[in-house]
Structure 1
Amino acid sequence: MTDKPDTISGTGRITTVRRDSLTFDVYDDGPADGEVVVLLHGFPERASSWRLVAPQLHDAGYRTLAIDQRGYSRGARPKRRRDYRIEELVADVMALVDVAVGPEGRVHVVGHDWGAVVAWGVAQQHPDRVATLTAVSVPHPMSFVTAMARSGQVLKSWYMLAFQVPKIPELVVGRLGKASDRQLAASGMTREDLDRVQREIVDDGALPGALGWYRALPLNKPRDMRVKVSVPTTLVWSDGDIAVGRWSAENNHRWVEGPYRLVELKGVSHWIPTQAPDELAEAILDRLGSASTRP
């Protein structure tokens, strides 16, 4: 059950959203009367990962709601693995949507990395509440899973298995900063982004909750992944992504029934929102313009 939220600041902006006993931090910016775009961050980042993209959406007249998700917000860090199942992550987003536009309103949804997984889930489970979907880096769950068997994706995803081990990943990232820095740097992260991960994730105590998303993977319902998406959708993928291979990106259309576009960025790493914000904003705006949240 969702608590009645007390989330609106004196300026009329949403600053926090409550769901059950959890409180999520929200960053509400852009024209107050603009169509709402919900921005969902990935691992190991927070809402600040959208800092270069969001202003471009504001300039185009859109209002953005960037949320620090479950495990990341200081007031929303449950301990159990089961608390990080996709159904819970999707319900968190829907609590924000209800506050922003009411129980019948629609929003645009944009997600990167794990945020894209949640965005796919929102579109699968609540298509009537989603005007458009823009997934960044990560394709439809079934495209990703199928790629494990039909391509080299399983080799790229070795870390998902490693993260299942209790406590060791926290020790490696928390105490051996240089080692984890090398792994993230190899994925394309810049020094600025590495410092942000250290400050916002490790130092702030968000790492155990962030890893909880991976540890809950065996607890998710396989049938939920198989639902095709019917809303207008764009997948933005980069050919320098070492975490997500080409097969799943190029075959993603098989799981989308609505209008669909694949945007491939050349020479860009996995960290598209901070490394190619202009190109990403252009792709998002193109998708946003294809449908309105208004009657």
Structure 2
Amino acid sequence: MTQQEPPEPHAQWTVRSTGADVAVFEYGRRDAETTVVLVHGYPDDHRMYEPLIAAIGDRARVVAYDTRGGGDTLLDTPDRTASYALERLAEDFWAVVDSIPDRGGPVHVFAHDWGSVQMWDPLRDSRARVDVASYTSVSGPSIDHLRAVSRRRGLRPWQWPSLIGQLGRSWYIWGFHVPVLGKYVPTAFVKAGPNDPAPAATPENMARGVELYRANIVRRMIAGPEPRCEVPTTIVVPRRDRFLSPDLVEGVERWAPDLRIVRVDAKHWWPWTHPRDAADLLLGRS
């Protein structure tokens, strides 16, 4: 990735959501026909997308925001795990979309890691068919899909190796839930892959973002709504992702009928390490 000066937002604002003041940042051309909303994952904030924003340039209007647990977004009760529930994250997304000045049409959503995980919830909403033109998901499966896949594989002994393999990749998730030990896991998470280039993570983002896992993983792996997505969707699967098995996309087409799967020779932070490829894919030029 070529090093360059990070792009500066030409506008920024705060939008009120349920129990949170969400920090929003705008880049690119406000009069562009295409509006893109970027949703980051853990342990990042919106700055993770600076290389991608630079690669998009003036080809689109770009809106990025800090999700709960990251960056400048402030929660009324940050120590309350329920503040990080997927339902609240979905409300944040719609609040951001509704806050975009002079928005003339549906937005194209690009999300990574926990940004992708959380986006499957608002895409269940009927308004998504009107207000979201497309969705690009990178390394962030639906928890509801994972629940169905895990149950199905648990009943099929020949698929147990795949299930066990994914459990091994998810060691950090279970570590986040262990009292006392959990506070050491974020640092171990970041250092686990020294050859996996990633944006610099702040101690604040590492510590606060843990609540995303505590608020949602166990709860939604036990029970939750059926996955559903009627928005045109592209799932990007980095072949060398150290956190997610490439075969987790199995069966997604059952509930996301307008689906394209793109496999890339990259690691977990593909949007950060390959911003030009990500921009071209997002803008339909790949």
Q: Which interval holds the TM-score relative to the shorter structure?
A: 0.7 to 0.9
Which of 157, 168, 173 is 1:155 aligned to?
168
SS in 2 for 1:32: coil
Distance apart, 1:37 and its partner CA: 1.1
Distance apart, 1:104 and its partner CA: 9.8
Cα 1:67–1:154 change in 2 (3 A) is same
Query: 1:166 aligns to what?
Result: 179
Distance apart, 1:88 and its partner CA: 0.4
Query: 2:121 aligns to what?
Result: 121
Query: 1:76 aligns to what?
Result: 74
Which sections of structure 1, spanning at least 5 residues, go unmatched? 1-10, 290-295
User: Which amino acid in the other structure matches residue 123 of structure 2?
Assistant: A
Aligned partners of 1:147 and 1:153 also within 8 Å: no
Residue-by-residue CA offset, 1:231-270 (whole Å, 9 max, x unaligned): 111001110011111211244323212x22111102x111
Aligned partners of 1:139 and 1:252 also within 8 Å: no
Cα 1:81–1:272 change in 2 (3 A) is same
Query: 1:59 aligns to what?
Result: 58
Cα 1:75–1:114 change in 2 (3 A) is closer
State whether structure 2 residue 38 is matched by structure 1 residue 39. yes
Cα 1:120–1:144 change in 2 (3 A) is same
Query: 1:249 aligns to what?
Result: 249
Distance apart, 1:131 and its partner CA: 1.2
SS in 1 for 2:67: coil
Moved more, 229-238 or 244-253: 244-253
Which sections of structure 2, spanning at least 5 residues, go unmatched? 1-8, 154-158
Distance (whole Å) between structure 1 residues aligned to residue 205 and residue 251 of structure 2: 34
State whether structure 2 residue 191 is matched by structure 1 residue 182. yes
Cα 1:16–1:184 change in 2 (3 A) is farther
Cα 1:167–1:65 change in 2 (3 A) is farther
Task: Give the fraction of aligned pairs with identical amino acids, expressed as a percent.
Answer: 29
Distance (whole Å) between structure 1 residues aligned to residue 260 and residue 68 of structure 2: 29
Alignment of structure 1 residues 1-295 onto 2, 5 Å: 13-34=11-32, 35-60=34-59, 62-77=60-75, 78-100=78-100, 106-125=106-125, 126-127=127-128, 128-148=130-150, 149=153, 150=159, 151=162, 152-171=165-184, 173=186, 179-185=188-194, 188-190=196-198, 193=199, 196-197=200-201, 201-202=202-203, 205-217=204-216, 218-220=218-220, 222-224=223-225, 226-257=226-257, 259-266=258-265, 268-286=266-284
Aligned partners of 1:236 and 1:283 also within 8 Å: no
Distance (whole Å) between structure 2 residues aligned to residue 160 and residue 171 of structure 1: 12
Distance apart, 1:275 and its partner CA: 1.2
Number of aligned residue pairs: 260
User: Which amino acid in the other structure matches residue 111 of structure 1?
Assistant: A
Cα-Cα RMSD: 2.7
Distance apart, 1:189 and its partner CA: 2.8
Aligned partners of 2:13 and 2:25 also within 8 Å: yes
Aligned partners of 1:140 and 1:252 also within 8 Å: no
* TM, length-normalised to structure 2: 0.81
Aligned partners of 2:10 and 2:27 also within 8 Å: no
